[in-house]
Amino acid sequence: MEEESDTRKINNSFLRDHNYATEADIISTVEFNSSGELLATGDKGGRVVVFQREQESKSQPQRRGEYNVYSTFQSHEPEFDYLKSLEIEEKINKIKWLPQQHAAYFLLSTNDKTVKLWKISERDKRPEGYNLKDEDGRIRNPLTITSLRVPVLQPMDLMVEATARRVFSNAHTYHINSISVNSDLQTFISTDDLRVNLWNLEITDRSFNIVDIKPANMEELTEVITSAEFHPQQCHTFAYSSSKGSIRLCDMRQAALCDKHCKYSPLADHRAILQASAEQEGGEGWGCEEEEVEKDFEEPEDPSTRSFFSEIISSISDVKFSHNGRYLMTRDYLTVKVWDLQMENKPLETYQVHDYLRGKLCSLYENDCIFDKFECVWNGSDSVIMTGSYNNFFRMFDRNTKRDVTLEASRENSKPRAILKPRKVCVGGKRRKDEISVDSLDFSKKILHTTWHPHENIIAVAATNNLYIFQDKVN
Amino acid sequence: MTVFRLGETRYMFGKGAKRKLDEDEEGLEGKALEASVAGGGLGLCPEGLSKVSYTLQRQTIFNISLMKLYSQRPLGEPSLERRVLINNMLRRIQDELKQEGSLRPLLFPPSPPPDDPMDEGFREAPPSFGVLSAAATAQVSQPSALLMPVIAPPPSPHPMVPPNCQASQACPNRVEVCPTPLEACLTPASLLEEDGGDSAFCAPSPPTPPLSPPPPQPPPLPSALLNQASPRVPVPASSIDGFPSALSDMELGPPTAITRTAAAITTTVTTSPAPTPLTQPSLLTPLSPTPTGLPRDSRTMGAKPEAAGVLLAEGRCTELRPMDALPTLPPGGLVDISASPSSPSSSSSPSGFLSDLALDDVLFADIDTSMYDFDPCTTSGAVGVTTGGGLAKLSPVVTADDLLKSLASPYSGPSPQVSANQPFKIDLTELDHIMEVLVGS
């Protein structure tokens, strides 16, 4: 986005001229932790802000746990790559929490080049009664000490401190776009445009390259990796998506390099192989022990909707496994698709996010909006999926009832406790009251990052530099 | 639905010089859209009148893509995915334009003839991830040298290349591939006025009906949808057969020479990182791998400087090949360099006009290339376009100098192309023959 601001001014597109007073405050990622107690946000200035949910108090039952700032720290600093004469942005691309094992919280945060493991711990006691120094910290004159005492821990104001415990650097030539913690809680993957690297959380000076799609000749590069994620239960399985709209499910037990380039077979044959292996599995999802063939998920293109921009809008911007591990959700520019992991020739469900933009693709290409990377997210029970759109709209799709809703995250429309009003974009000629026409959408207000509480219906939506947290209505 | 789409798109760009054309085509649009609805969507069936709007939109997108690639932030590293996608877009459009050009009996089958050693690596290029790569042959061919320079733009050690032009060295490749149709589309208004089937323009001008009957639409292959350009042109295999026969029909001088030239043409590198600026000084400069390319590549790609070196060497030697076909040009001493190992990138899609480009390097060496306002890619980008423009002008040079000057208007700046022809006036007759074949007169 930052690089396109100039282009937008030059093109005089229908984007309003925007002035980011605090560009460093633009939120670049949001993530709930596995219990939902903490919510982390990363911004363009390299900072991480962690919110914690208030404990629900019996005295005020209406006041459900609200999120307040818990910790703020500077995760990444801007760097300069002297070799290439390029700036390395400090923008936090992704934050992933580690499941909580002890009192402290751990999260991974990454910018374009470096992943860091942060430990967030509380301190609410401090030792008092040192012998050799005062409460102020001044060294006492040893000659004045007449008796010894044992320091005791006294309560103090809660202090939350964040320390960087590991720094995983120098493993990526290209820009890291995603990280994912393995279910074994010992390893994680970091993904850049052409490679996926596997790390051990304890070891920072070594990583294993498990996917490499860099061609021998960079001039032949036509496809990049856009996202990757570990399977939530299977510690040997991960998926990665590409800019050509395909998803590959990989099994790390197959080979050291989950690449399959040289062994790629036409789709028909591949399906035959998968059919055979699926039958072997016994058909019950992922409980099998046999080795599995890598699967390529790709939907053949619909010739009736083909245009110049077909490839660009098919580029997958986000891939997310469902919580139960049976489905995969992908987000491309105009749609969200849910895939059954057992069926790789077409998605199970396709949801149109903002199909009214299909006629505007040329302008969106001109002002670079077509390259916006929207994320998508499952709710805790995998029954509802959510993703963002323009004009600070975000959309939710109920997979069971097939109903969808468009909501807006804006200060004018959201007072505390107010119920969000569904919005509608009109595509035809006649615009009803309350509807917004496609041409009056604000394309500078985009909701790229959203997250859903793992158990409850609480969502966090990042709208540029504002964070909105919405909760289910309490009866 | 299609009506809505096209209308919307046009309004987005209906400004400035193109407004006149828009207004003229308002009536055409309606009929065109109805026609294209039957054809199954935007841009798939530019038959008849809708071809104008399709071509215009395609040209607009092409220009936008070029601008996007070359107006980059100096400090930050642009996103690789964005560059790759824009690059693919450019390739697709270029392939389409090429195939459009090849509707005429030209020598450029979409996949290169088998006797070319440059092809080996090309055919064996690793299939792209996740997509049926079988149909990707011609499409993959457009190597994106853009990626190489753009990833790491260090100051240029090469004396001949201006310091800030690293990233732009691929510009010529982007633009030069389809010079004549590009010209035709860049100045549609003037061409519409002048072109009535004037073969000298060698442009598949939108208003004139295609010279050859439009090929039947093959059933869209899933792979083709993602990789190939338009489905209007029959599959590559068949076209290979078509062209040699077309060739033999032609009553021209030494058919073998022309065929060889054609072979050379089809394999000329589209994207050797810096063919044009590097060959500008003199064709006879010893071809050593350009230092420009190597250090850059060693940084960006780790351990593949040799690939870049090979690329550059091939880029130069493919330019030399058409020279070899012309008897008066310096003989084989320089041809030895063409023994460089086949690199996948070299056997790029047959850009028929690349041989002309190579000629242009020599002929228009002194051209002022400051016509684009890009920064930092000013010079090379302009070079590419100028030489591309010069290609169309090469033929008019032979047939009509007036046309040359009129075509030169918005895009060639103050450069006097005509003067650069002097060293090769002797060969004009041969060039004339070849150009007639190339442009399909």
Residues of A in contact with B92 (CB under 8 A): 308, 311
A83/B299 touch (CB, cutoff 8 Å), yes or no: yes
Residues of B in contact with A362 (CB under 8 A): 9, 12-13, 57, 60-61
Is the pLDDT confidence value at A466 over 80? yes
pLDDT score, position A472: 81
Q: How many CA atoms lie within 13 A of B321 on its CB side?
A: 26
pLDDT score, position B441: 57
Is the pLDDT confidence value at A72 over 70? yes
A368/B68 touch (CB, cutoff 8 Å), yes or no: yes
Is-contact A189 A238, C-beta < 8 A? Answer: yes
Instruction: Return the higher-pLDDT residue of B116 and A34.
Output: A34
**What residue of A is the nearest CA neighbor of B226?**
A311
Q: What 3-state DSSP class applies to B174?
A: helix
Q: What are phi and psi of B306, to 5 degrees?
A: -65, -35
Nearest-CB residue to B148 (from A219, A224, A298): A219
pLDDT bracket for residue A222 (50, 70, 90): very high
Q: What are phi and psi of A369, to 5 degrees?
A: -65, -25
What does the pLDDT average to over A328-335? Answer: 96
Chain A closest-CA separation from residue B206 CA (Å) = 18
Chain B closest-CA separation from residue A45 CA (Å) = 15
Is the pLDDT confidence value at B425 over 60? no
pLDDT tens digit string along B254-284? Answer: 444 444 444 443 334 333 333 343 344 443 3
Chain A closest-CA separation from residue B140 CA (Å) = 6
A173/B68 touch (CB, cutoff 8 Å), yes or no: no
**What residue of A is the nearest CA neighbor of B310?**
A217
Nearest-CB residue to B130 (from A175, A298, A309): A298
Average pLDDT value for chain A: 86
Instruction: Return the higher-pLDDT residue of A425 and B15.
Output: A425
**What residue of A is the nearest CA neighbor of B219?**
A303
pLDDT score, position B437: 80
B73/A85 touch (CB, cutoff 8 Å), yes or no: no
| Lowest mean pLDDT across A85-99, A390-404, B242-256 | B242-256
Chain B closest-CA separation from residue A99 CA (Å) = 32
What does the pLDDT average to over B241-250? Answer: 42
Nearest to A115 by CA among A227, A51, A23, A192: A192
Average pLDDT value for chain B: 47
What does the pLDDT average to over B97-105? Answer: 73
Environment class of B320 (CB within 10 Å of its CB; exposed 0-12, middle 13-18, buried 19+):
buried
Residues of B in contact with A312 (CB under 8 A): 85, 89
pLDDT bracket for residue B144 (50, 70, 90): very low
Is-contact A312 B85, C-beta < 8 A? Answer: yes
Is the pLDDT confidence value at B382 over 50? no
pLDDT score, position A172: 95
Chain A closest-CA separation from residue B274 CA (Å) = 13
Q: What are phi and psi of B291, to 5 degrees?
A: -60, -25
Peptide bond preceding B376: is omega within 30 degrees of 0, i.e. cis? yes
Helix, strand, coil percentages for chain A (3-state, nearest 5): 10, 40, 50
Q: What is the spatial distance between Cα A219 and Cα B140, in angstroms, rounded to a whole number?
A: 9
Contacts of A258 (CB under 8 A, 6+ apart): A196, A210, A211, A250, A251, A252, A294
pLDDT score, position A84: 85
Q: What 3-state DSSP class applies to B372?
A: coil
pLDDT tens digit string along B118-135? Answer: 333 333 333 333 333 333
Instruction: Return the higher-pLDDT residue of B208 and A379.
Output: A379
pLDDT score, position B21: 40
Is-contact A174 A192, C-beta < 8 A? Answer: yes
Q: What 3-state DSSP class applies to B89?
A: helix
Residues of A in contact with B12 (CB under 8 A): 360, 362-363, 366
A84/B154 touch (CB, cutoff 8 Å), yes or no: yes
Q: What are phi and psi of A6, to 5 degrees?
A: -65, -45
Task: Give me the interface pTM, i.e. the ipTM.
Answer: 0.84
Chain B closest-CA separation from residue A306 CA (Å) = 6
pLDDT score, position B102: 74
| Lowest mean pLDDT across A198-207, B285-294, B415-424 | B285-294
Nearest-CB residue to A193 (from B81, B222, B345): B81
Helices (H) and strands (E) in chain B, counts: 21, 0
What does the pLDDT average to over A415-425? Answer: 82
Strands A152-168 and A178-181 turn out to be: unpaired
Is the pLDDT confidence value at A52 over 80? yes
Residues of A in contact with B173 (CB under 8 A): none
B89/A312 touch (CB, cutoff 8 Å), yes or no: yes
**What residue of B is the nearest CA neighbor of A79?**
B76
pLDDT score, position B69: 85
Neighbours of B235 (CB within 10 A): 16
Residues of B in contact with A217 (CB under 8 A): 125, 143, 304, 307, 311, 343-345
Q: What is the spatial distance between Cα A393 and Cα A449, in angstroms, rounded to a whole number?
A: 12
Residues of A in contact with B136 (CB under 8 A): 222
Q: What is the spatial distance between Cα B5 and Cα B24, in angstroms, rounded to a whole number?
A: 19
A306/B225 touch (CB, cutoff 8 Å), yes or no: yes
DSSP conformation letters of A433-446: TTEEEGGG--TT-B
- CA-to-CA dists, residue B237 to A100, A123, B118, B266, angstroms: 60, 73, 18, 15
For A106, the token pair is 């751990």
A304/B300 touch (CB, cutoff 8 Å), yes or no: no
A/B interface, count of CB pairs below 8 Å: 203
Q: What is the pTM of this model?
A: 0.58
pLDDT tens digit string along B182-221? Answer: 444 444 444 444 444 444 433 334 444 444 444 444 443 3
Nearest-CB residue to A362 (from B61, B85, B344): B61
For B378, the token pair is 């000013």
Residues of A in contact with B80 (CB under 8 A): 174-175, 193-194, 224
What does the pLDDT average to over B58-62? Answer: 91
Instruction: Return the higher-pLDDT residue of A398 and B420.
Output: A398
pLDDT score, position A293: 58
pLDDT tens digit string along A298-318? Answer: 998 888 888 889 999 999 999
Q: What is the spatial distance between Cα B80 and Cα A105, in angstroms, rounded to a whole number?
A: 34
For B333, the token pair is 């001493």
Residues of A in contact with B85 (CB under 8 A): 243, 311-312, 315, 371
pLDDT bracket for residue B244 (50, 70, 90): very low
pLDDT score, position A232: 97
pLDDT score, position B352: 37
pLDDT score, position B226: 37
pLDDT bracket for residue B74 (50, 70, 90): low
A362/B13 touch (CB, cutoff 8 Å), yes or no: yes
Residues of A in contact with B129 (CB under 8 A): 213, 223, 242, 244, 246, 248, 261, 264
Q: What is the spatial distance between Cα A412 and Cα A285, in angstroms, rounded to a whole number?
A: 46
pLDDT score, position B139: 40
Q: What are phi and psi of B436, to 5 degrees?
A: -65, -40
pLDDT score, position A63: 59
B154/A264 touch (CB, cutoff 8 Å), yes or no: no
Tell me, what DSSP letter sits at residue A326?
S
Is the pLDDT confidence value at A107 over 90? yes
B84/A89 touch (CB, cutoff 8 Å), yes or no: no
Contacts of B210 (CB under 8 A, 6+ apart): B103, B204
Q: What is the spatial distance between Cα A241 and Cα A314, in angstroms, rounded to a whole number?
A: 11
Neighbours of B125 (CB within 10 A): 22
pLDDT bracket for residue A474 (50, 70, 90): low
Residues of B in contact with A372 (CB under 8 A): none
Residue A130 identity: Y
Of the ranges A456-460, B148-152, B153-157, B389-393, which is most confident?
A456-460
Q: Cα–Cα–Cα angle for A250, A252, A254, nearest 5°?
A: 90
pLDDT tens digit string along B303-319? Answer: 444 433 333 334 344 44
Tell me, what DSSP letter sits at residue A430?
P
pLDDT score, position B103: 61
Is-contact A24 A43, C-beta < 8 A? Answer: yes
B225/A303 touch (CB, cutoff 8 Å), yes or no: yes
- What ranges do the domains of chain B cover? 52-70+79-100
Element housing B428 (H / E): helix B428-439
What does the pLDDT average to over A221-241? Answer: 96
pLDDT tens digit string along A119-177? Answer: 999 998 998 888 888 888 888 888 888 889 999 999 999 899 999 999 999 999 999 99
Q: What is the spatial distance between Cα A14 and Cα A434, in angstroms, rounded to a whole number?
A: 21
Residues of A in contact with B295 (CB under 8 A): none
B85/A243 touch (CB, cutoff 8 Å), yes or no: yes
What does the pLDDT average to over B335-340? Answer: 38
